[in-house]
Chains A and B, each alone.
Chain A
């Protein structure tokens, strides 16, 4: 996964969106420029977990209420794990 450590940046000196052939943008990694690191958040399983919890809570209303409780637990678990991930993410 691409984090700031292995992010590719390009040493293109430009004020314009592309002063170089646009196909080259990002496809050919060059040496990273010192100060500009591209930081993208790592993939995370917790958004889908949280969403699943919410949907399960709704699902329980139309099936068996146990699904609703399960959904709330899954949702809470997802949120807590999500926050933990945010806290321990390298800056």
Chain B
């Protein structure tokens, strides 16, 4: 396994590559989760500089009124690309990068569950980003906002390739994110080391887990929107063209169905990082572990039912407004709980003012400001007044810049020593912190006062806004200089930073028990943990956490056990030591989590849950338009017969699996072939139906939306059937010599096949049976 230190030399590699080409190939082929984590961080660091440059150009243009250094068109491109870059190419991948690197180590695993899939995710991210920026070379950068509202990108309004770049790259990036999220979920569920129960996982792991679920359930909305965009552009559908019966608001609903969970995707892992860093530099365990973990879960759920607060001005009904106003206020509660947890952790602690800690404290202040303005938008009339103004810009920059980005910077200072073996210069770090802190606030705080200035205007005439804008632009330069200083700090410290040693911060989670950087396989011996702070236990055998855990943990707060030693402690330690040597597995506390489910099947099930969301978007789309049309052209009895073929193929698949587990290879093949034939029958039936409809000139681009939605929904299902058939056919050939010891993919592909059949139950009911009533 090729792994690298910061200086790029390869170690732990038995057959060292000699030529430059071989070495490059090693980097390209790597499946090491740590190296891939560093790839993520470096790549998104570069994108951060690009996105920051775009912001600086905008600030240059806005510094004075009636400025004309940048044209209106370029300005549109700049704010669109700045948003898309910062969201999809900076904050999300940075957090994924940290999760990639540290999540497996923090749960005591040697690797991520699917290392090759993980490598693919990274490359999808890189290529997706390059695809987006290819638009710069083509001269048609997307210019319709990061959310690409449908009325802006539809052909009469936008004729260039910008929205297509947006959609294509977001589909690629989305695929990568979903793959990573699935990978991380399975890793957490299946690969935790002995003793690493869910309630002992580091909070970063908790937040990444919640976050991964949000990703797999929210990203498909975006994918659906982007796919429909491409359909409108290329296939001639008109989902979002009102004059053809389409609905532009539907785009917004589906987009924000993704878009608001996305806000939490960008902050939750950062919350996790704060919950790791603040305790270490307050020299106290986290205050209210359970609250931090479960408020994260609550945020995850609620984040799916707040989306329409982005759309109050679209014109919702009163009850809709009331609902989304209420949920938007409710989601502030678990977020506020976390603020309390961090403050409670710092309270009475002996705080070490490292750069990482300073960033965390700045985060708490700034995020609270952003959170308060966020709750203000839940007040609907206030939202009417402030929507699309600089007040909103101030709000989300305080949340994402002052929140996520500041925590990411904290994470860089905290984990850099572990990743590279060298300390970042604290002196430069201090200067850099103050530059970013002052720069950030000078840039974005005045925006709160510009509640009358509209967003996304390339210039303005109102001289009353001029001083604020000038100050903001100057702040942006200071902010940028702080970020550049960090870049310099990283480069300089890689060369001649202080040696870090394994645990420079005297921290307590498992990553600090390895060398810096950790070996390719993370742990020579898989660790066993007994508490949330395994390294505390190791350093303090007289008062380990696990002695107090059973009594204290459920109540949340864990008082520091220091000073609780004594004779009782000594006895306990002795007992504990004997038990670790002799009968460790017998102790209930160290039983290894066991699952019937293999990782591959787990991956498939979660993937299916993600796919379901995609289908739900399409079904919603169909149902919304279904009011308009009569589908008298549909022949229900005929469709029923070939649907029956599909449904019965699920049964034959189950029988096939039964025969396989009984070892009857011949009958397995027979029933597998039957399954394939039945599935193919369905596809043929569907194609003849399409042919008939086309002969009656009901096409995918026919007006009034029946064709558009019918062919898209059933067509995507048909495509899934086709993919399932490819999988089943693959089984027919591959399963013969699938080596013993490798898990056969029969079960996983079987799951997928049942899912495809199950989706058709819904589609058949909604599209066909509904018309009978």
Contacts and interface: CB of A to CB of B under 8 A. Distances in A.
Interface of A: 1-2, 6-10, 12, 14-19, 22-27, 36, 38, 40-48, 50-52, 54-55, 58-59, 61-62, 82-83, 86-89, 91
B35 to A, nearest CB: 10
9 contacts: A1-B2, A2-B1, A15-B580, A18-B514, A18-B538, A45-B28, A51-B120, A54-B172, A54-B175
B490 interface: no
Given A17-B108, A40-B521, A43-B26, A59 B117 contact: no
B538 A16 contact: yes
A64 B525 CA distance: 53
B520 A17 contact: no
Main secondary structure of the interface of A (DSSP, over half): loop
B318 interface: no
Interface in B84-143: 108, 110-111, 115-120, 122-124, 126-128, 130-131, 134-135, 138
B168 A58 contact: yes
Indicate the member of B14, B116, B168, B502 with the most A CB atoms within 10 Å: B116
B130 A55 contact: yes
B551 interface: no
Nearest to B120: A47
Given A61-B168, A91-B739, A51 B15 contact: no
A55 to B, nearest CB: 3
Contacts of A58: 128, 131, 168-169, 171-172
Output the residue of B29, B31, B524 with the most chain A CB within 10 A.
B524
B441 interface: no
B313 interface: no
Contacts of B165: 62
B123 A40 contact: no
A48 B29 CA distance: 8
Contact of B523 (A1, A25, A27): A25
A1 B13 contact: yes
A24 B525 CA distance: 12
Contacts of B122: 51
Given A2-B1, A10-B525, A25-B523, A61 B111 contact: no
Contacts of A22: 502-503, 513-515
A61 B128 contact: no
B524 A16 contact: no
Contacts of A43: 1-2, 26, 29-31
B127 A51 contact: yes
B205 interface: no
B115 A17 contact: no
B133 to A, nearest CB: 12
Contacts of A2: 1, 12-14, 520-521
Closest 9 CB pairs of A and B: A26-B519, A55-B127, A51-B123, A58-B168, A43-B29, A17-B513, A10-B524, A47-B120, A22-B502
Given A44-B116, A51-B127, A59 B168 contact: yes
B343 to A, nearest CB: 30
Contact of A40 (B1, B501, B518): B1
Contacts of B742: 86-87, 89, 91
Nearest to B587: A15
A38 B523 CA distance: 9
Contact of A17 (B28, B32, B127, B510): B510
A87 B26 contact: no
Contact of A83 (B110, B169, B515, B734): B734
Contact of A26 (B12, B580, B734, B737): B12
A12 B737 CA distance: 38
B738 interface: yes
Contacts of B13: 1-2
A31 B728 CA distance: 45
A52 B127 contact: yes
Given A22-B502, A24-B515, A47-B120, 12 more contacts: A10-B525, A15-B581, A16-B528, A25-B513, A38-B521, A38-B524, A44-B29, A48-B119, A48-B120, A51-B123, A54-B172, A87-B734
A41 B116 contact: yes
Nearest to B544: A16
Nearest to A22: B502
A42 B31 CA distance: 7
Interface stretch (B246-254, B322-330, B382-390, B529-537): B529-537
Contacts of A12: 524-525
A31 to B, nearest CB: 12
B527 interface: yes
A55 B110 contact: no
B627 interface: no
B77 to A, nearest CB: 15
B120 A41 contact: no
B164 interface: yes
Nearest to A27: B515
A38 B110 contact: yes
B521 A26 contact: yes
Contacts of B2: 1, 43
Nearest to A56: B127
A23 B172 CA distance: 40
A88 B12 CA distance: 24
A41 B31 contact: yes
A74 to B, nearest CB: 12
A17 B523 contact: yes
A61 B31 contact: no
Contacts of A25: 502, 513-515, 518-519, 523-524
Which of B25, B30, B234 gathers the greatest number of chain A CB atoms within 10 Å?
B30
Interface in B265-291: none
B525 A40 contact: no
B714 interface: no
A41 B169 contact: no
Contacts of B12: 2, 8, 26
Interface string B157-187: 0000100110011011001100000000000
Nearest to A38: B521
B723 to A, nearest CB: 11
Contacts of B14: 1-2, 6
Q: Which of B110, B118, B119, B525 has the most A CB atoms < 10 Å from its CB?
A: B525
B528 A27 contact: no
A16 B527 contact: yes
B741 interface: yes
Contacts of A62: 131, 134-135, 138, 161, 164-165, 168
A44 B41 CA distance: 21
Contacts of A51: 120, 122-124, 126-127, 176
B230 interface: yes
B474 interface: no
Contacts of A87: 734, 737-739, 742
A12 B131 CA distance: 48
B116 A16 contact: no
Contacts of B557: none
B50 interface: no
A27 B117 CA distance: 27
A67 B14 CA distance: 39
B165 to A, nearest CB: 6
B523 A55 contact: no
B584 interface: yes
Nearest to A60: B168
A55 B524 contact: no
A41 B529 contact: no
Contacts of B15: 1
Nearest to B195: A15
B117 A47 contact: yes
A19 B523 CA distance: 12
A15 B269 CA distance: 29
Contact of B119 (A40, A44, A88): A44
